[in-house]
Each structure stands twice: as structure tokens, then as C-alpha cells.
């Protein structure tokens, strides 16, 4: 899968006017959607403010009618269709959130729609799509990625003549999503120093960034992608959209193999840097060639995203989906000037409760608290007891044990998952394993077998 390399790479900066997507069009979109979409709260978070030394606000798009910002772009596009286009119906492909926005808009305007989602879309999102669309929407699951669903939707449009409602690759969609920026600027009453935006296909970043470049040029912009699906970063490095050969689909709301041409056209005009880690202060007095404040892209690990999801739930009572937690996760890796005003877009809260087992597992692995081993136990009584007494520490706990006894062998391998009390307990554990008569092999976290386990 594509992962960002360590050196800084300067993003290509394209000159020339950007057709259709502009601050004026985003203001017009805000008026179009105002009858159906109420402003979402801009909430100051005391814990994150204390953590960073900045004034940190969350733009709570998880509190829309469909629990994500996607309704903005979908409605802004569909409401502009002609009578003939409405009669022909609409088609959309989505990992789940855009589908809910399209479904909501279809029902609100009495337009029929067919929505294609990957088979990996959580059940909670599928159920919500059906609730929002009712009799006006047909839900079709196909393929295991957004890109497979998008291909099926494109074939539907070619076959039926229906109108495609893209989740990000259309100026009308991006303009609707850009209304988030118009909204939080009004709510804040001043220009923020930094705005952090989660990035999947790039429409939201394109809309918000375009609006800020025109209306608040002194605001720095940071786009954040999951490390296992950094398609915007790949595009900026390559000088145009590229298709990633493989992605990690865990962050389902932001895992796409290829960003859209419209988002790339907009984002490439921001100027700035593509980087894997934010080891330098993000907010500086250095301006880009356009005279605007800095724009950067970065990625965050999926395990770190899981840790953030759990922290938001346990501390603020916020249910964030993986993509929704991207912007807040980035705060843990940034150096921000004290007293700065930071707005993080919490983009969605459609998280299936059945996924929390995996969320907890990935978080423990990321924190260095969960490790897996292959242990070759002698086929004799008391072997497991000796392992517990001689190898495990007082704060260590076996959470996984899968063992198949083979009578024709002197030893039998077992998969053992161990949860530590603290990350520092790993080295003493490995030392005790080396000294024990039982053979133990630690599974490499980068191996295919380990990725299967987590």
C-alpha cells in the first residue's frame, strides 16, 4: 500500500483561474442548502486546548441529520438539477456517508436514486441509508472498495441515463462541502490560525481550502489522510491524480485509491508541502508564493486514529467514525504556536458499535500494549503453567490463545496474544522468553500474518 516517505516534497502549484469552484459559488451554495441543513456547532474542547496550548475547536459535522458533512455537497448538486434530470433519477457511489446525504436529498425532493456501496460498508451505515432514502432509494452493495462501487455506478449511468452525484469529484459537490468554512468563520467571528481537514477523495479539502484562500488567506490549512490510503499525497507528489495499487480500507470514509480531478485542480493551487511527519512548527510567518499562509498534507497511522476515537468517546462523549477522528489525531503530532486558534473538522459520526472490538485492538497495538507470539509448547503436562510462571510478568495478560495439540509431535505451536501493563514491559518480556526453555517467536508487526490478526 502507498505510504508517505520521510523527505519533504513541494506540491506542484498550478497557475490560472479555477472554473466554477470559488468562494462566491460556495456562498451561493450556502444559501441553497440553508432551508434543509442547519448550522452545526463549533465547540471548544478544553482537553485538546490544554494538550496543545492552543484554542482548539471542533466543527461538529457529526451532528448533521445524516451524521456527516456529506449532505451539504449532495444536496447542493441535486437541488440544481433540471426537471428532466430529476425525472431520470440519480446514481451515486459511496463508502456510506455520501450515500446517506444523497438518500436524504432524494427523499426530501422526491427524486429516485440508486446508491452503490462497497460490501465492506458497515451495517450501521447501510441501515441509515435505507432510513434516510425510504422508498425513493435502492441500495446496491458491490465490490470491497469505494472504487469498485464507483465503477458499478458509472456503468449504471451509462446504461440508464441517470445523473451521477459524485461524492467529491464535482465542483457542485465541493462547493457544498466548502460551506463548512463559511459557517465556522461566521461562528468564530475571526480568522483561525489553522484549519485541519480530513482528506479522502479531496472534495471537502478543495471546498474549504478554496474558501479560506479567498476569504481568510492568513489561515494555514492542513490536510490529513490515513497512512494506508494517502491518495491526495500521492497525487501531489506525482503532479496529478494517480491510482494507488492497494489501500487499507479501515478508515472507510477516507479510503479511496484515487482522488478526483476537480479536488486536485483546486488543492494543487494552494501551494505548500507534502510531508509524512510534522516535526517542525506548523504555524510560521513564512508565506507561500501566492502570499497565503501555509498549506500542508500529512498522514496519521490507523492505530493512532483508533486511540483518538476512544479518547473522544471517553472524555467528550463524542462518537467519531475513523475518518471523523483524522483531524484530531493530527493534533498529537503537531507543534503549534501557543495561543493559536485551531479548527478541526470532525467530519462524521457513523461508527458501527460492532467495530469497537477492532478499534480497541488497533489502539492497543499502536500504543505498544498488544503483541503476538508463536510459542512452541512441549507436549507434556504443566507446559502452559511453566510459561505463565516463568515468562509472563505480573502486569501481563494473555488475551488470545489458540492451540491445537498434535499427538505425533513432541511440541505444538500456539498463537499467544499478550497485553502488557505498560509499553516498557516489552523488553523484559522478550528477555524472559529468550531465557525460557520454550521457543517463542514474536510476530513482526509489518508482516502479512500480523496485519491479518489486527
* In a shared domain, residues 37 and 132: no
Question: Is residue 129 located within the same domain as residue 251?
Answer: no
Kindly list the distances between the CA atom of residue 142 and the CA atoms of 60, 152, 202, 322, 380, in Å, as whole numbers in the listed order: 31, 8, 23, 22, 50
Domain boundary among 337, 358, 379: 358
Residue 126 lies in a domain: yes
List, in sequence order, every residue forming a beta bridge with 91; answer none if it has no partner.
114, 164
In a domain, residue 42? The reply is yes
C-alpha cell at 81: 438539477
Q: Which residues contact 70 (CB under 8 A, 6 or more apart)?
A: 94, 97, 98, 100, 101, 167, 177, 348
- Is 268 in the same domain as 210? yes
Query: What's the pLDDT tens digit per position in 233-266?
Result: 999 999 999 999 998 888 988 988 999 999 999 9
Domain region containing 135: 90-161
Give pLDDT, residue 292: 55
Nearest to 357 by CA among 315, 323, 309: 309
pTM of structure: 0.85
Per-residue pLDDT tens listing for the chain (454 residues): 333 333 333 344 444 443 479 999 999 999 999 989 999 999 999 999 999 999 999 999 999 999 999 999 999 999 999 999 999 999 999 878 899 999 999 999 999 999 999 898 878 788 989 999 999 999 999 998 877 888 999 999 999 999 999 999 999 999 999 999 999 999 999 999 999 999 999 999 999 999 999 999 999 999 999 999 999 999 999 999 999 999 888 898 898 899 999 999 999 988 765 554 443 344 433 344 444 568 999 999 999 999 999 999 999 999 999 999 999 999 998 989 899 999 999 999 988 888 888 899 899 988 999 999 988 888 778 888 888 888 888 889 998 888 755 555 666 788 899 999 999 999 989 999 888 888 888 888 777 767 666 5
With a CB cutoff of 8 Å and minimum separation 6, the contacts of 146 are 93, 94, 95, 118, 255, 256, 257
CA distances from 332 to 48, 211, 250, 301, 361 (A): 9, 26, 20, 11, 20
Query: Does residue 377 sit in the same domain as residue 430?
Result: yes
Res 284: pLDDT: 35
Say what the pLDDT of residue 299 is.
Answer: 93
Identify the H or E element spanning 414. Answer: strand 411-419
How many whole angstroms separate alpha carbon 54 and alpha carbon 195?
Answer: 12
Q: Parallel, antiparallel, or unpaired for β 273-274 and 295-300?
A: parallel
If asked whether residues 38 and 113 sit together in one domain, one would say: no
Q: How far apart are CA 261 and CA 237, in angstroms?
A: 15
Q: Is residue 15 part of a domain?
A: no
Domain for residue 270, yes or no? yes
Does some domain include residue 14?
no
Domain assignment present for 447: yes
pLDDT score at 262: 95
- Pair (134, 238) in one structural domain: no
Compute the distance between CA of residue 422 and CA of residue 211 in angstroms, rounded to an integer: 45
CATH code of 400's domain:
3.30.70.260
Q: Which residues contact 270 (CB under 8 A, 6 or more apart)?
A: 11, 13, 209, 213, 221, 288, 292, 295
Residues 195 and 152 occupy one common structural domain:
no
Question: CA geometry: angle at 127 spanning 353 and 197, to 5°?
Answer: 65
The residue assigned the cell 465503477 is 151
> 10 Å Cβ neighbour count for 452?
8
Same domain (yes/no): 290, 326: yes
Q: Is 20 left (phi over 0), alpha (psi -120 to 50) or beta?
A: left
Last residue of some domain: 118, 138, 161? 161
Q: Are residues 120 and 33 in the same domain?
A: no
Domain end residue (candidates: 116, 136, 161): 161
Within this chain, do residues 292 and 415 fall inside the same structural domain, yes or no? no
Residue 81 resides in a domain: no
Instruction: Give CA–CA dist 349/47, Å, rounded.
Output: 20
- Does residue 192 sit within a domain? yes
Q: CA-CA distance, 371 to 445, in Å (whole number)?
A: 8
Pair (389, 421) in one structural domain:
yes
* Residue entry with cell 437541488: 79
Mark whether 136 and 234 lie in a shared domain.
Answer: no
Overall domain count for the chain: 3
Contact 113, 135 (CB under 8 A): no
d(Cα 1, Cα 230) in Å, to the nearest integer? 9
How far is it, in rounded angstroms, from Cα 310 to Cα 290?
Answer: 39
Spell out the residues 6+ positions from residue 190 whose beta carbon is closer than 8 angstroms to its own: 341
Q: What is the pLDDT of residue 14?
A: 41
Amino acid at each position: 500500500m502507498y505510504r508517505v516517505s520521510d523527505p519533504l516534497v513541494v506540491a506542484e502549484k498550478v497557475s490560472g483561474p479555477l472554473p466554477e469552484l470559488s468562494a462566491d459559488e460556495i456562498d451561493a451554495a450556502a444559501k441553497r442548502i440553508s432551508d434543509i441543513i442547519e448550522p452545526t456547532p463549533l465547540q471548544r474542547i478544553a482537553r485538546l486546548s490544554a494538550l496543545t496550548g492552543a484554542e482548539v475547536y471542533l466543527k461538529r459535522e457529526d451532528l448533521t441529520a445524516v451524521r456527516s458533512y456529506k449532505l451539504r455537497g449532495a444536496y447542493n448538486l441535486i437541488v440544481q438539477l433540471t426537471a428532466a434530470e430529476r425525472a431520470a433519477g440519480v446514481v451515486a457511489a459511496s463508502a456510506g456517508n455520501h450515500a446517506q446525504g444523497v438518500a436524504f436529498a432524494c427523499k426530501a425532493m422526491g427524486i429516485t436514486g440508486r446508491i452503490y456501496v462497497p460490501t465492506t460498508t458497515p451495517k450501521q451505515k447501510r441501515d441509515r441509508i435505507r432510513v434516510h432514502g425510504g422508498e425513493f432509494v435502492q441500495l446496491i452493495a458491490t465490490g470491497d472498495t469505494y472504487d469498485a462501487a464507483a465503477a458499478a455506478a458509472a456503468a449504471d449511468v451509462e446504461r440508464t441515463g441517470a445523473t451521477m452525484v459524485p461524492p467529491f469529484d464535482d465542483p457542485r459537490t465541493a462547493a457544498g462541502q466548502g460551506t463548512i468554512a463559511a459557517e465556522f468563520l461566521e461562528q468564530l467571528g475571526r480568522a483561525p490560525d489553522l484549519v485541519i481537514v480530513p482528506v479522502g477523495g479531496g472534495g471537502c479539502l478543495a471546498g474549504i481550502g478554496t474558501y479560506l484562500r479567498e476569504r481568510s488567506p492568513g489561515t494555514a490549512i492542513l490536510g490529513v489522510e490515513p497512512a494506508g490510503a494517502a491518495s491526495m499525497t500521492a497525487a501531489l507528489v506525482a503532479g496529478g491524480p494517480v491510482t494507488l495499487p492497494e489501500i487499507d480500507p479501515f478508515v472507510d470514509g477516507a479510503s479511496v485509491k484515487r482522488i478526483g480531478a476537480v479536488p486536485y485542480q483546486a488543492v494543487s493551487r494552494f501551494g505548500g508541502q507534502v510531508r509524512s511527519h510534522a516535526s517542525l512548527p506548523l504555524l510560521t510567518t513564512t508565506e507561500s508564493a501566492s502570499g497565503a499562509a501555509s498549506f500542508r498534507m500529512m498522514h496519521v497511522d490507523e492505530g493512532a486514529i483508533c486511540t483518538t476515537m476512544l479518547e473522544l468517546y471517553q472524555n467528550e462523549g463524542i462518537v467519531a467514525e475513523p475518518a471523523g477522528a483524522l483531524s484530531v489525531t493530527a493534533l498529537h503530532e503537531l507543534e503549534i504556536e501557543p495561543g493559536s486558534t485551531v479548527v478541526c473538522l470532525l467530519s462524521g459520526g457513523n461508527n458501527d458499535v460492532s467495530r469497537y472490538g477492532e478499534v480497541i485492538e488497533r489502539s492497543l497495538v499502536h500504543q505498544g500494549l498488544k503483541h503476538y507470539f508463536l510459542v512452541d509448547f512441549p507436549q507434556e503436562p504443566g507446559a502452559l503453567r511453566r510459561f505463565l510462571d516463568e515468562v509472563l510478568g505480573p502486569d501481563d495478560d494473555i488475551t488470545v490463545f489458540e492451540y491445537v495439540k498434535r499427538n505425533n509431535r513432541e511440541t505444538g505451536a500456539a498463537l499467544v496474544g499478550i497485553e502488557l501493563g505498560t509499553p516498557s514491559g516489552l523488553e523484559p518480556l522478550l528477555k524472559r522468553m529468550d531465557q525460557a526453555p520454550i521457543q517463542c517467536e514474536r510476530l513482526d508487526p509489518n508482516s502479512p500474518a500480523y496485519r491479518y490478526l489486527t
